[in-house]
């Protein structure tokens, strides 16, 4: 159900095509995340003549008031049976910039069409850790960028009582700051990609040449809290990706999908891990097949389902896709996020969203012993966040062919947890920190000592210049953690989610 509202711009419009669309609707899927919701839609009489809702744009620095009557609001909330779930804020700034990009757009036959126009890249999940750094990097490199994000991650933090080590600005302030510093515009669409109506509007409005899909629930522990978070994770991730595939098929069939997968899809087999495919000879016959997947959480399983759905649609519909099986990302600064404090990226250190090396640096900074789970022989691929943005750009600049499902293992080095603890201990000593390590009972179900050798040559072949983990990077990460150590809530450091104790009942994460 839609409700027309009076939307007034408080400042004079800078462009003739200025207007905003708001539309928030109830979302039964997110019942445990959202307590209330409502629907707001600009009436057609507010629209500039001759333009569809998707064509109308607003200048970001303008603010606006929305008037609604309580009775309308109540009526809308009580009629929750039609569970539509979008929250669209289409807030697009000023005319698009005209930087020349070397990257091709595609014609209807899939060949490059107009190389003088920069590629248009939609970054889904662009308010998150990897997505924010990537959106800025691509914008800086001359791509036309739009961020699509439901902001659900900020909501999950609030609900679990967690916070980034670094203070992060609202997405609106981030984008205003970026515009003020660089003159570059990043468009913003706030909404849930599980809502196909929202996604369709977004696709038709922005017309992407490439979609980078970071927009998923990305924590294995979060997916193992309880039944409702497990269900949320799989619905959010699998349906979101399915919708993106359908949107490409319906509206932008030459659009290249760059999807963030994870090295965790492969598990820890006792043989080398290949990049996506393995050639097997069995009973005298040989075939090249998808590499076996052995995911070890409901989150990792959602990624496996995604990969299968993408591979299938590449075959069936001729979609061009790159699955980036990313390792664990560390670090916080990139060239762009360092330009201003309002552009600062998030850094998670807690037991739910924090990842190994980032967590260890924060633990060392506050004098908490490094928390090695079990024997600490768990080995994974890692990469610097500066390489995440580089890899994504390389994938976009060298797109997969129509119908090709390309898989890259996106990491630069392998470490065991014990090796990371030793590196942080050594770097901490240089800074005068007394770093201790403890072994805590492993909350996960995983091998604690195992063979691990994963291939990762394809991105190097495309030109990746890795930032390997160095003393100077550890120094800088530790100093960063020391700078913000007063923001650390030490109660959030220990693991609080157990793979074996997962149950049906909702758990409160930070009651104490
Ligand atoms: N951070 C890592 O170490 C790491 C490692 C391997 C893979 N990855 C993958 O990279 C991607 C990004 O990870 P991150 O660390 O930046 O996570 P993040 O939680 O910081 O960011 C994810 C963003 O996606 C948004 N989002 C989630 N569901 C959405 C939906 N349905 N519609 C619209 N927006 C939605 C969130 O609001 C958030 O801003 C994830 O897919 C993750 O699985 C991350």
Split the chain (512 residues) into runs of 10 and give each run's mean pLDDT.
32 30 35 33 32 31 29 30 38 30 49 74 98 98 98 98 98 98 98 98 98 98 98 98 98 98 98 98 98 98 98 98 98 98 98 98 98 98 98 98 98 98 97 98 98 98 97 95 98 97 79 46
Chain centre distance of CA 486: 27
The question of whether 299 is a catalytic residue gets the answer: yes
Catalytic, 373? Answer no
Predicted TM-score of the model (pTM): 0.83
Please give the Cα distance from 42 to 24 (Å, whole number).
11
The confidence score (pLDDT) of residue 116 equals: 72
Residues framing ligand 1 (Cβ under 6 A): 124-125, 127-131, 149-153, 192-194, 214-218, 236, 240, 260, 262, 326, 328-329, 355
How many angstroms separate the alpha carbon of residue 482 from the centre of ligand 1?
A: 26
For a mutational test of ligand 1's pocket, the pick from 129, 198, 331, i.e. the residue with the most ligand atoms closer than 8 A to its C-beta, is: 129
pLDDT at 93: 26
**Active-site annotation holds for 262:** yes
Q: What is the pLDDT of residue 505?
A: 85
Q: Which of 141, 303, 333, 458 is catalytic?
A: 303
Distance 409 CA to ligand 1 centre (A): 17
**Residue that has been written with the tokens 């510093």 in this structure:** 181
Specify the 3-state DSSP secondary structure of 472.
helix
Q: Which of 86, 122, 130 to mutate for ligand 1's pocket (most ligand atoms within 8 Å of CB)?
A: 130
Give the number of the atom of ligand 1 that is nearest the alpha carbon of residue 192.
32
Whole-number Å distance between alpha carbons of 435 and 438: 10
Residue 62's pLDDT is 30
* Gap from CA of 296 to ligand 1 centroid (Å): 18
Among the listed residues 189, 299, 349, 382, the single catalytic one is 299
Closest alpha carbon to 347 in 335, 363, 362, 334: 362
Contacts of 164 (CB under 8 A, 6+ apart): 157, 346, 347, 348
Q: Report CA(495)–ligand 1 centroid distance (Å).
A: 20
Q: Which of 218, 242, 297 to mutate for ligand 1's pocket (most ligand atoms within 8 Å of CB)?
A: 218
């Amino acid at each position: 159900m839609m409700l027309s509202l009076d939307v007034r711009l408080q400042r004079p419009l800078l462009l003739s095509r200025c207007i905003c669309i708001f539309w928030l609707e109830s979302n039964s899927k997110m019942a445990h995340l959202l307590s209330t919701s409502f629907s707001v839609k600009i009436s057609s009489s507010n629209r500039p003549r001759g333009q569809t809702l998707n064509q109308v744009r607003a200048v970001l620095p303008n603010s606006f008031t929305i008037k609604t009557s309580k009775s309308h609001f109540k009526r809308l909330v009580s009629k929750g049976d039609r569970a539509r779930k979008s929250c669209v804020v289409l807030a697009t700034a000023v005319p698009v910039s005209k930087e020349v990009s070397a990257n091709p757009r595609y014609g209807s036959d899939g060949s490059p069409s107009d190389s003088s126009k920069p590629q248009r890249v939609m970054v889904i999940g662009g308010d998150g850790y990897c997505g924010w750094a990537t959106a800025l990097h691509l914008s800086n490199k001359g791509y036309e960028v739009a961020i699509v994000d439901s902001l659900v991650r900020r909501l999950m933090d609030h609900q679990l009582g967690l916070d980034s080590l670094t203070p992060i600005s609202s997405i609106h302030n981030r984008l205003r700051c970026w515009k003020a510093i660089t003159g570059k515009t990043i468009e913003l669409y706030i909404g849930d990609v599980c809502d196909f109506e929202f996604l369709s509007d977004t696709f038709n409005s922005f017309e992407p040449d490439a979609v980078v899909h970071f927009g998923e629930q990305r924590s294995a522990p979060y997916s193992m809290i309880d039944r409702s978070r497990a269900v949320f994770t799989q619905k959010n991730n699998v349906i979101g990706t399915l919708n993106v595939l359908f949107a490409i098929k319906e509206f932008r069939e030459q659009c290249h999908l760059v999807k963030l997968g994870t090295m965790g899809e492969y598990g820890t087999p006792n043989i080398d891990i290949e990049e996506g495919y393995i050639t097997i000879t069995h009973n005298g016959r040989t075939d090249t097949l998808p590499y076996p997947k052995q995911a070890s959480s409901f989150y990792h399983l959602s990624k496996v389902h995604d990969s299968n759905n993408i591979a299938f649609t590449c075959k069936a519909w001729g979609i061009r896709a790159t699955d980036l099986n990313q390792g664990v990302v560390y670090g916080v600064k990139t060239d762009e996020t360092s330009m201003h404090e309002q552009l600062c990226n998030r850094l998670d250190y807690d037991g739910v969203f924090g990842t190994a090396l980032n967590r260890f640096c924060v633990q060392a900074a506050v004098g908490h012993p490094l928390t090695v789970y079990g024997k600490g022989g768990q080995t994974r691929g890692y990469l610097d966040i500066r390489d995440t943005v580089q890899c994504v750009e390389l994938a976009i600049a060298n797109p997969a062919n129509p119908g090709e499902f390309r898989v890259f293992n996106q990491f630069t080095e392998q470490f065991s947890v014990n090796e990371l603890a030793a590196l942080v201990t050594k770097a901490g000593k240089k800074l005068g920190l007394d770093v201790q390590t403890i072994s805590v009972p492993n909350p996960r179900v995983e091998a604690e000592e195992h063979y691990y050798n994963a291939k990762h040559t394809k991105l190097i072949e495309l030109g990746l210049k890795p930032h390997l983990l160095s003393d100077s990077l550890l120094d800088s990460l530790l100093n960063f953690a020391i700078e913000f150590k007063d923001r650390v809530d030490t109660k959030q450091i220990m693991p609080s989610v157990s793979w074996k104790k997962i149950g049906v009942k909702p758990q409160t994460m930070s009651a104490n």
